Structure 1
């Protein structure tokens, strides 16, 4: 529940929007109002860095497009940030006039170029791909309508998927090898993940070359018995198209996923036995050419095993076995060192930290320690014996970049202490580009050495920050609020002309999903501009991260286990009631809104908290976890068969008769993630209870409800009108 497509890149994605303080020299009355048109036409968008691909040595590459439509892959120096050379230009390619993705082989002598992409689901695409030889400048077609092509380490072959099968194009022999032949839509998938793995385990390519290019390990999904979900897409034709795909809802049959090993020398594929498991969320080759490490999870996702798979003998042994009373998150942090000892992150001491194990699974040492969370693992420099990571050790609303020795000594802060610091390291970990922002400072991109020396500011968005002083904008006020025995992070936005002797309606925003965070000291996104616009219309906007959210330890996050929507809702209701005690809050005009999990929350809050909330907006909400996918839902809830009360006691469908206030329900009919079924079932429950409400159903739109001219502008206009009618215009000033 939880681009330019550049395969194998470091993506420097930055905050999309900006805020500023009210320190302008202009009088407030002279400042401009924020408009919805400006929010959605990019007026407040900061300058961004292009997606950057770190190369071997102290270099990186960028995909650039000039005004004449020429696409190039250009090489730059980290040390100077200057362009070194153009590696490939579409002007020199006869059969490829433009391309929108690229990926190098290991020694950067060849490039895969992609074009004509067709979206499948949230992260998956098919496209037309070519292999380009840098030295000879030869361009060779790999295939059309294929997925996830990748070079073998020996640079002689490319493996890819097409029509649910795996193929290998051997350039050295000018041969095409078909690895699998049983692929069939909605039945068998080879080498590409199914819908639920893509969405919840966050990967698409499910095949990996061995280091010696002699083996190709891949996952095979048999989804024959997985129930089918279908959606009518009205499109622009007389008859709608139907999207039919396999979607395992909570408690239903999952795909039968197996690990397969293909040997190139004899072209034989063998199934690898991994014992009892439900999921294989990761596979990764170790530094031993014949040893693959496969990760498995049980269905409850509270027992994780790392398996050492011997490709020669197609056998496996247990490398690591980790259990948890609740669940274990899947990451990409497994890193093998030269001696095949490995880096691993775990919450086993109550907070997410970095550990070092030998290749027999014996713990060497815990590298980071403390009552704070490691939020990102960047890599290990073998020469310096140094690990680079990001953490919240300077407060859970901040992120800092750190280095630490492999033995856990000599920890050093490399970035700013406050705000959000996100590092994109060079491949050799000698440099990093840091993206820094706070709620008051727009994204600043700076080049650093790995020792933390800032060499150069690349972009600072100072012009945008200055431009924003012309607008009526209030700063976020960060604080904590004690609710149900916990100090919860909170921000509040007040009108610029706030008068504590007046009363204001209050509008709460939250998401509240497990491990999430909305209260962060970072540059704002589009919603924050909308919230500020509402504040200037005469209301107070508040966000509280309650129990179940992240970065405050496993106990705080996992307290919601088997009870999604219980403690989170209690905290939002209690926070609203406590804030309503303040003299400047109109206790009779308090609203709440959210999207996805946040829509599930806002609906529940309006129903269960009908004595404090008078208004709610729910966009693309889950209304019963029985309708959502197996991997996400069962991670926190187990199955409906095991935990029926947990599902039903917190489903807003079962409390429709408690609706007393104003409710706006929004959903896209093309949402393959949170199906519109959720809102339709909520609609029926409200009708059965004879309750009046407002509804906005958008044809064909997916979970983001963003596709099409003016879609977001239209949606936020409707939500603004709803808030003005039911909150702002009903408060006695």
Structure 2
């Protein structure tokens, strides 16, 4: 390596974290130029985090959290306080840590969840009312999600204030019939067990119901919808304070949206959608005035935007042959919908706007990956632009109405250019990642990315490590900074070539490409990885006897298939927190793609490492956290048990009391040192 450049170290990456991007506070609230909270005068049981500040509607009260701790992936609990901005009085909402503290829209009340029950605190008289009383650990949950909803439907706060602040709609989960799962916590002379409800494929789910609490009458009314148990992935209020309940059947291929009138509790179906395979449910549903719904759907083959009015057929607002990835914001006053799409190719993200009549234009100008942040007044926007080689630059724009009655963006300021990160990167001699397309069949190719050593020499032979996730709708091959990790750059110093390939089933290429894996999760995905590996093996600078595969979670599943089903081409594999049998994973995720084990026994049996385990010729490293609440240690233990029974050598590491992310303290450094050392010795 050239002397003017310094060598990248694992300590730099995982201990010192020298290559983290700046922590940008995007839209700060305007406070008067005075001390808000003097911590010398008022003491708290922990540090105040300004990022937790939430102001009510008229900026008269400030809610903040202290000692916030994670529960699962998205849920947290914390000590919560409220500051009266006029008197500087500080109110402690509850003596214990609570969840989901949120102001009502009028700013006069705060709802929160404590010990599976829902409460409302009134700011005017400092009175607390308990809305539910039947909450009990591992039995009944009110206002908070059970484990599987939080993980798979990507939310944890399970209540919503009505726009008029007169009602709260909330979820009630009856977990009594859901089977328990336990794992040990090694924290004392005798270890304890953490036990929670985890529904596995084909097993019983929580019985989920929606209730409306009327604050003035103090009545709580259950909502009746005439549907099978299924799932309720979302509830939403309209501006008129009508409640909409989104219901998916258990197969997740039929969606009904029920409209509930809280004044009479009358219900009727507002919208229905069906799919031959499954509905990939997202959070892109927005109600506007006069019972109009803006939503996205894949029914055209690509995700597009539609407008639905009561008792009328949906109207497409976009008809694009590229993938919409999410709606960033809806400006109801101007009738504008901001959305991001995979354009002009699946690896890119660009910002667009469309109005309520279907007039569309592109707003972002720079190639690469554009992430948008729009302020609550819809008057400013920050575009975060990066590419696979350059860290993000944050630019703020003001939003103005153009002559075409669509927004135009006027640059206001550069918020951040990640100067410190760019300076740190300039001290290193890094390889330049390159995109390529790998042909795997006639008229079919896969998007891929390759990173070569900085001193690459075509006359040499290099080992190759495939870095893969590969799960439904995911993408690793994207033109975004961070898509190639600093650890991958570290491996190029050790003379590795790194390759990522987005197989069949991944995102950005439309519904059919994604849903081809239906009922056979793992089959087409690993076939693609194997074909891609054979293609890479033929390159003159690749050592075809030193091709490996690495992945985490679904990627770990892929690595376990690579070393078994792909034993003819993959010589070594590292599987971290792998799924090894879909029967061991949760209902919502697994059954969406595979149905139940009884309905699809062949799909479950054929697409695991177990049915090809005797093919193994290469080397395998299994890694798992013992306290993984998501992909249980059971997966790796069952695989290791079978490997031992077959007398197949392998290596394994279990990280004590660590969850699915295997993080905290020096754990990441230890983990990546272990992986790297193993690669050096076994590739």
TM-score, with structure 1 as normaliser: 0.88
| Alignment check: 8 A CA contact 1:472 1:536 kept | no
Matched residue, 1:712: 668
Matched residue, 2:405: none
- Is 1:623 matched with 2:580? yes
Matched residue, 1:377: 327
- Is 1:606 matched with 2:568? no
Q: CA deviation at 1:87?
A: 7.8
| Alignment check: 8 A CA contact 1:126 1:146 kept | yes
Aligned residues: 669
RMSD of equivalent CA atoms: 1.8
The SS at the match of 1:232 is strand
Matched residue, 1:37: 11
CA distance in 2, matches of 1:216, 1:528: 44
| Alignment check: 8 A CA contact 1:372 1:391 kept | yes
Matched residue, 1:10: none
Q: CA deviation at 1:429?
A: 1.5
CA distance in 1, matches of 2:165, 2:381: 31
| Alignment check: 8 A CA contact 1:200 1:632 kept | yes
Matched residue, 2:372: 423
| Alignment check: 8 A CA contact 2:277 2:518 kept | yes
| Alignment check: 8 A CA contact 1:46 1:442 kept | no
Q: Could you list the per-position Cα deviations for residues 369-404 of structure 1 after superposition, in whole angstroms to 9, with x for gaps in the alignment?
A: 221111121222234322211111221111111222
| Alignment check: 8 A CA contact 1:512 1:597 kept | yes
Q: CA deviation at 1:412?
A: 2.7
CA distance in 2, matches of 1:400, 1:220: 39
CA distance in 2, matches of 1:523, 1:557: 24
- Is 1:202 matched with 2:150? no
| Alignment check: 8 A CA contact 1:90 1:98 kept | no
Q: 2:22 aligns with which of 23, 26, 48?
A: 48
Matched residue, 1:332: 283
CA distance in 2, matches of 1:192, 1:649: 37
CA distance in 2, matches of 1:405, 1:719: 50
Matched residue, 2:404: none
Matched residue, 1:547: 504
Structure 1, gaps ≥5 residues long: 1-26, 55-59, 62-73, 76-83, 728-733
CA distance in 1, matches of 2:262, 2:274: 27
CA distance 1:205–1:687, shift in 2 (3 Å): same
Matched residue, 1:154: 106
CA distance in 1, matches of 2:391, 2:275: 39
CA distance in 2, matches of 1:611, 1:465: 42
The SS at the match of 2:530 is helix
CA distance 1:615–1:47, shift in 2 (3 Å): closer
CA distance in 1, matches of 2:253, 2:40: 53
CA distance in 2, matches of 1:360, 1:318: 10
Task: Summarize the alignment of residues 470-481 of structure 1 with structure 2, pairs less than 5 Å apart.
Answer: 470-481=427-438
Tell which deviates more after alignment, 714-723 or 126-135. Answer: 126-135
Q: CA deviation at 1:361?
A: 5.2
Matched residue, 2:660: 703
Q: 1:722 aligns with which of 675, 678, 682?
A: 678
Matched residue, 1:315: 266
The SS at the match of 2:528 is helix
- Is 1:135 matched with 2:86? yes
Q: 2:189 aligns with which of 225, 230, 238?
A: 238
- Is 1:414 matched with 2:370? no
CA distance in 2, matches of 1:500, 1:416: 37
CA distance 1:686–1:32, shift in 2 (3 Å): same
CA distance in 2, matches of 1:335, 1:244: 37
| Alignment check: 8 A CA contact 2:19 2:425 kept | no
CA distance in 1, matches of 2:175, 2:25: 35
CA distance 1:348–1:442, shift in 2 (3 Å): same
The SS at the match of 2:563 is helix
CA distance in 1, matches of 2:452, 2:384: 28
Tell which deviates more after alignment, 397-406 or 571-580. Answer: 397-406
- Is 1:255 matched with 2:229? no
CA distance in 1, matches of 2:267, 2:542: 62
Tell which deviates more after alignment, 122-131 or 216-225. Answer: 122-131
Q: 1:493 aligns with which of 451, 454, 467?
A: 451
- Is 1:436 matched with 2:410? no
Q: CA deviation at 1:480?
A: 1.1
Q: 1:516 aligns with which of 474, 481, 484?
A: 474
CA distance in 2, matches of 1:430, 1:92: 37
Q: CA deviation at 1:30?
A: 4.1
| Alignment check: 8 A CA contact 2:19 2:424 kept | no
The SS at the match of 2:318 is coil
CA distance in 2, matches of 1:204, 1:494: 42
| Alignment check: 8 A CA contact 1:292 1:309 kept | yes
CA distance in 1, matches of 2:349, 2:341: 6
Tell which deviates more after alignment, 449-458 or 625-634. Answer: 449-458
Matched residue, 1:588: 545
The SS at the match of 1:261 is strand
The SS at the match of 1:180 is coil
CA distance 1:512–1:416, shift in 2 (3 Å): same
Q: CA deviation at 1:405?
A: 2.1
CA distance in 2, matches of 1:287, 1:357: 15
- Is 1:99 matched with 2:48? yes
Q: Could you list the per-position Cα deviations for residues 475-523 of structure 1 after superposition, in whole angstroms to 9, with x for gaps in the alignment?
A: 1011111123422111101112212222111111110010000001111
CA distance in 1, matches of 2:40, 2:159: 32
The SS at the match of 1:202 is coil
CA distance in 2, matches of 1:468, 1:265: 59
The SS at the match of 2:489 is helix
Q: Could you list the per-position Cα deviations for residues 131-180 of structure 1 after superposition, in whole angstroms to 9, with x for gaps in the alignment?
A: 22222322222112221122223333222111111112233344322211
| Alignment check: 8 A CA contact 1:446 1:456 kept | yes
Task: Summarize the alignment of residues 242-391 of structure 1 with structure 2, pairs less than 5 Å apart.
Answer: 242-277=193-228, 278-289=230-241, 291-360=242-311, 362-363=313-314, 365-391=315-341
Q: CA deviation at 1:686?
A: 0.5
TM-score, with structure 2 as normaliser: 0.95
| Alignment check: 8 A CA contact 1:414 1:453 kept | no
CA distance in 2, matches of 1:436, 1:490: 21
| Alignment check: 8 A CA contact 1:394 1:417 kept | no
CA distance in 2, matches of 1:361, 1:427: 31
Structure 2, gaps ≥5 residues long: 400-407
CA distance in 2, matches of 1:247, 1:435: 38
CA distance 1:530–1:46, shift in 2 (3 Å): closer
CA distance in 2, matches of 1:89, 1:400: 41
CA distance in 1, matches of 2:41, 2:447: 54
| Alignment check: 8 A CA contact 2:366 2:385 kept | no
Task: Summarize the alignment of residues 167-246 of structure 1 with structure 2, pairs less than 5 Å apart.
Answer: 167-235=119-187, 237-246=188-197
CA distance in 2, matches of 1:626, 1:356: 39
Matched residue, 1:78: none
Q: CA deviation at 1:44?
A: 3.7
| Alignment check: 8 A CA contact 1:109 1:133 kept | yes
CA distance in 2, matches of 1:534, 1:269: 59
CA distance in 2, matches of 1:86, 1:681: 60
Q: Could you list the per-position Cα deviations for residues 397-423 of structure 1 after superposition, in whole angstroms to 9, with x for gaps in the alignment?
A: 1111122222111x3322234111101
Q: Could you list the per-position Cα deviations for residues 670-719 of structure 1 after superposition, in whole angstroms to 9, with x for gaps in the alignment?
A: 100000000000001101111000111111110011123x2111111111
CA distance in 2, matches of 1:361, 1:618: 50
CA distance 1:229–1:86, shift in 2 (3 Å): farther
CA distance 1:543–1:691, shift in 2 (3 Å): same
